[in-house]
Copies of this chain bind each other. A is one copy, B any other.
Amino acid sequence: MFSNIELEGLMRLLAFVLFSFAVCYADEGMWTFDNLPVKQLQDKYGFVPSKEWLDHVRLSSVRFNGSGSGSFVSADGLVLTNHHVASAQLERMSTAQHDYLKSGFYAATRDQEMKSVDQEVDVLESMEDVTNQVRQAIKPGLNDKQALEARQAAIARIEKDSLAKTSLRSEVVPLYSGAEFWLYRYKRYTDIRLVFAPEQQAAFFGGDPDNFTYPRYDLDLAIFRIYEDGKPLHTENYLRWNSAGVRDGELVFVSGNPASTERNLTVSQLESLRDYVEPEQLKFVGAVLDALHGYAAQGSEQARETAALSLRYENTFKVRKGELAGLKDPQIMGKKKAEETALRDAIKRDAQLERQYNGAWAAIAAAEQKRRPRNKELQYRTVSPTFAQIAVQIVRYVEEVKKPDSQRLPGYHDAQLQSLRFRLLSPAPVYLPMERSLLAAELDLAQGELGGSDPFVKAALNGASPAEAAAAALNGTKLADPAERKALLEGGEAAVNSSKDPLIGFARRVEPVLRETTEWERNEVQSVESRAGEEIGLARFAVYGKSIYPDATFTLRLSYGTVKGYPMNGTIAPYKTTFYGLFDRSASFDNQPPFDLTPSYERGRADLNLSTPFNFVSTADIIGGNSGSPVINRNGELVGLIFDGNIESLVSAFVYDDSSMRAVAVHPGGMMEAMRKLYHADALARELEGGSAR
């Protein structure tokens, strides 16, 4: 990003000239809780969160592993998140007879609350700077590959020690491109029970067309209750629900776990993304989507099985398309070049900085050149359908756990095993015909892109066609039973090597090629880029200090911004929408999907106060992973539920601009109106509004 300090200086100068001492900052950044932009907040809003405010918000925030964010909203463990964060669990709880994605769910009493199949929820208990410990492990004179291994070994050790000492989930997080390392410890919950979810069609009204756009009319919420030892968790750390919600122009905060941004990539890395990485990704995601749609078209049960997955792939497809368009926009790339030039010019003004850091950009550019010829292999040598992937992970698990912790592949360190086993042994339903379709499509694509003599393609197809190979791998597998998987994990390498299960056989064939590909990238590209990236991160510190925020890492961050509309489509978008708009959009499309009303809307229309605020936007800087994040006012109250960004924000992985990019949230007034009038979830509504618990 363009230096905050330089921007700040420029802005202040401008402000001085134009507005006499009024200051004007962009509402940018996903800040760690230990390093907020205090001066910006004070100058622009006259409000800086206190330590108590921050601790309360942090401990009220949760991470849904693998899917998004959420927050505690009652003293008895109610957690609010998005429907689309919950949708994988809803799909797994459903059967051909009970489709909770389609029909929604409400537990009127606690005993009806329904346990998630395999959801973990984390609360960030503490954060500790371990930069020195990590850095000391990297002795002088190591080459890039050795340095990366030493770093990973140090991280594994710190995580393992912390886990042993505290029993808390422990993750070392590289921040500021690796210029800092922090140990984050999480309290983990695994008994997550569903309390309420509307129909997916109400949550995702407008479907793929309206996804990532605004104005919106989506009831994208789900409410769980966290249990511990079989009882609802009691907590003092929850956000008070404020149904009045936000006012136009109000300061708000978003506390959540943005998954990934790439605002600090070098221009050479961005050019690789633009020229070959993202185009191939888009092709891959498009092919998977085609396979999903083809499978869904076979019948209503097939459509049910793919619903949650299709939604995620459609989402990814739209994001990638938007990102690619952004990368191809000369203005955006020009801005990134200007940022890079500004940093490099600053470094060149100091001989020592220049000596230490100036080589980093060339090193990264060279690594990118090296990656280029193998890009297709990195993209298409993959096994992404859940179940086949689990088989590969089992094969890899038994091989890795034999090794000393520090020498294992990432993801297989001691501190990570609990979560990994939780996933590998998940009792989630397995749809073998769907898996077969997806695997066949991926193998077909790999064959087309890499050719029949590619080692991965040869190992995967084993002389057959893609469809035959997928059938051979999945027909007759017993791995659908978690007990079979458990037996393999516990039987170790011997059990895996002697297994006659066809899916394990498939996994054994492809795993060595996948491993070689991954290790090549790690040794030849990532090791170079992580060391050079660290250098650039340190250079940025040297020039700008800690006035900057780190790229997103699916860890807890605080964003802030103003509730406000923006210029759109030749006119202006309002800061909020109402239920009137939902009925307009539906009627405007003659109630045709994806703009059809659910039965709840049809039945409840006359009862709804149609002018109730429904969705709203703010300038808070968010990205995927923030889904389900609470929007919080100065008083620390819940005034919204993040669920999307607008179409202008699709490039925000690379660059943020608060003039047009907006975070889209559900308004608590709209959620309350729907819970009461459409779903008659009165007990839940009372609990949320702070009445007595049920």
Question: Which residues of chain B are near A209, meaning CB under 8 Å?
Answer: 571-572
CB-CB nearest in chain B for A248? B590
Q: Is the CB of B647 within 8 A of A206?
A: no
- Given contacts A209-B571, A213-B569, A569-B569, whether A587 and B583 have CB atoms under 8 Å apart is no
Interface residues of A (CB under 8 A from B): 206, 209-213, 215, 248, 322, 565, 568-572, 574-581, 583-585, 587-590, 595, 610-611, 646-647, 650
Add 16 more A-B contacts to A569-B569, A570-B647 (CB < 8 A): A210-B571, A211-B571, A213-B569, A215-B588, A322-B570, A569-B647, A571-B647, A576-B588, A578-B584, A578-B587, A580-B580, A580-B583, A580-B584, A580-B610, A584-B584, A587-B611
Contact among B213, B569, B575, B589 for A588, CB-based, below 8 A: B575
Assembly CA distance A225 to B206 (angstroms) = 44
Question: Which residues of chain B are near A580, meaning CB under 8 Å?
Answer: 580-581, 583-584, 587, 610
Choose among A248, A570, A583, A610 the residue with the greatest number of B CB atoms under 10 Å from its CB: A570
Contact among B206, B574, B587, B650 for A571, CB-based, below 8 A: B206
Contact among B215, B570, B579, B584 for A212, CB-based, below 8 A: B570
Q: Write the nearest CB–CB distance from A672 to chain B, whole angstroms.
A: 17
A–B complex contacts, Cβ < 8 Å, 30 sampled: A206-B571, A209-B571, A210-B571, A211-B571, A212-B570, A213-B570, A213-B571, A215-B588, A248-B590, A322-B570, A565-B589, A569-B569, A569-B647, A570-B647, A570-B650, A571-B647, A574-B585, A574-B588, A574-B589, A576-B588, A577-B584, A578-B587, A580-B583, A580-B610, A581-B584, A581-B585, A581-B588, A583-B611, A584-B584, A587-B610
Q: Write the nearest CB–CB distance from A660 to chain B, whole angstroms.
A: 11
Assembly CA distance A271 to B570 (angstroms) = 24
CB-CB nearest in chain B for A578? B587
Question: Which residues of chain B are near A570, meaning CB under 8 Å?
Answer: 212-213, 322, 646-647, 650
Assembly CA distance A278 to B588 (angstroms) = 37
Question: Which residues of chain B are near A581, meaning CB under 8 Å?
Answer: 580-581, 584-585, 588
Q: Write the nearest CB–CB distance from A317 to chain B, whole angstroms.
A: 13
Question: Which residues of chain B are near A574, meaning CB under 8 Å?
Answer: 585, 588-589, 595
Question: Which residues of chain B are near A578, meaning CB under 8 Å?
Answer: 583-584, 587-588
Q: Write the nearest CB–CB distance from A82 to chain B, whole angstroms.
A: 19
Assembly CA distance A589 to B249 (angstroms) = 12
CB-CB nearest in chain B for A321? B570
- Given contacts A569-B568, A570-B647, A647-B570, whether A610 and B583 have CB atoms under 8 Å apart is yes
CB-CB nearest in chain B for A589? B574
CB-CB nearest in chain B for A569? B569
Instruction: Give the 6 A-B residue pairs with the shortest CB-CB distance, closest first.
Output: A570-B647, A574-B588, A581-B584, A580-B584, A587-B611, A213-B570
